[in-house]
Amino acid sequence: MSVRTNRPRRLLTATAAVFAAGALVASCTSNEPEEENEPAAETNAQAPSGGNDEPGETVVIGFSGPEADHGWLAAVNDSAIAEAEKYEDVELRTAEATNDANLQISQIETFINEGVDAIVLLPTDGAQLTEVATRAMDAGIPVVNVDREFSTPFAARTTILGDNYGMGVSAGTYACQLVEDNGIADPVIAEIAGIDSLPLTQDRSQGFADALEACGQTVDNRVAAEFTVESGEEQAANLLQAAPQIDIIWNHDDDQGVGVKQAFDNAGRDEFFFIGGAGSANAMRWIQDGEMEATILYPPTQAADGIRLARLLAQNKGMSDLVQVEVPRRIVLNAPVVNADNVEQYLPLGFES
């Protein structure tokens, strides 16, 4: 598959002005050394530390995540373990990955009984894990909630999320840019969603629709797959049969995108700009090879960031890059567009589908 060669050179992300409210992107630590003999701020809160990466008191962090039955989930689990290994003052206890909420509850109960210093939890189901996470918090163990939110803010000290709505905004804003820069009159825009019953899919679709509306466009053809290669191929084939001409296609998920692209190849269709979602390594290689226009990042580093935040919380440290020294209660990561202009920068973060 080839993509059109008159690619726009500007990059737009979910930070587009009309949609940027509420997003918080923060850096966890700084490697800048602390100035010697500088008086500490007169405050009862933690003093900001420029040496957050310097070894401190050893802390025990429990990590539990869902079964790695999807490339993105595997990358999340792997990144958490790899991040913990960077710190000699972190002892990571990793529970067996599972999609069984009851088993995950028992894993958190074990962490509580062991008296770990902090817990990083990507729940298989946020609502079902809320009660046990709240018990951990009540026991004085800070919980870092990753990706799938609990039902109450009392269940976590900090929540770190990707931006599903922002993914849709980035994809839609980039589609608008493609339309403008290529002078496409009456463009046909298609969408291959994930599982429609999931809030994350609904958020991605809503962001896409809102961004398109801002430039006077709409989704003309839409199908929903199931985040699997097989469903991606099936639904993409259905889409191609229903629409003999398409100008832009946004596929929500690069794992199901393997099947989506196979359907494109099988049908010999390459007249459209193909935009993906999540940021897989294979999608980025397709971008390098000119077989895909772009992908929208949904960072697989969320749990790794969770490990960093848990370490700071357990060591009673703040975030050195913020004036407010406390670790924030909520962090939403950006959803940037990755295309030929910046793919080399993001490829190391890509996960294998």
pLDDT one-digit tens code per residue, 101-112: 999 999 999 999
- Band (pLDDT 50/70/90 cuts) for residue 321 is confident
Q: Of 151, 158, 62, 69, which is closest to residue 112 (Cα–Cα)? A: 62
pLDDT of residue 50: 53
Please, what is the Cα angle at 29 between 147 and 338, to 5 degrees?
55
- Band (pLDDT 50/70/90 cuts) for residue 29 is very low
Question: What is the spatial distance between Cα 184 and Cα 207, in angstroms, rounded to a whole number?
Answer: 22
| Sequential DSSP letters for 92-154 | EEEPPP-S-HHHHHHHHHHHHHHT-SEEEE--SSHHHHHHHHHHHHHTT--EEEESS--SSGG
Which residues face 64 on adjacent strands? 121
Question: What is the spatial distance between Cα 146 and Cα 75, in angstroms, rounded to a whole number?
Answer: 14
| Chain-centre distance for alpha carbon 120 | 16
pLDDT one-digit tens code per residue, 244-293: 999 999 999 999 999 999 999 999 999 999 999 999 999 999 999 999 99
| Chain-centre distance for alpha carbon 105 | 24
**Would you say residue 13 has pLDDT above 70?**
no
pLDDT of residue 54: 84
| Sequential DSSP letters for 277-295 | EE-BHHHHHHHHTTS--EE
Report the chain's terminal Cα–Cα distance, integer Å: 19
| Chain-centre distance for alpha carbon 141 | 25
Identity of the residue numbered 294? A
- Band (pLDDT 50/70/90 cuts) for residue 315 is very high
Question: What is the spatial distance between Cα 305 and Cα 296, in angstroms, rounded to a whole number?
Answer: 19
pLDDT of residue 138: 98
| Sequential DSSP letters for 159-190 | EEE--HHHHHHHHHHHHHHHHHHHT-SS--EE
Between 322 and 334, name the one with better pLDDT: 334
pLDDT of residue 298: 95
Pairing state of beta strands 294-297 and 337-339?
antiparallel
| Chain-centre distance for alpha carbon 181 | 28
| Angstrom distances, CA of residue 274 to CA of 67, 178, 269, 283, 292 | 29, 11, 11, 10, 5
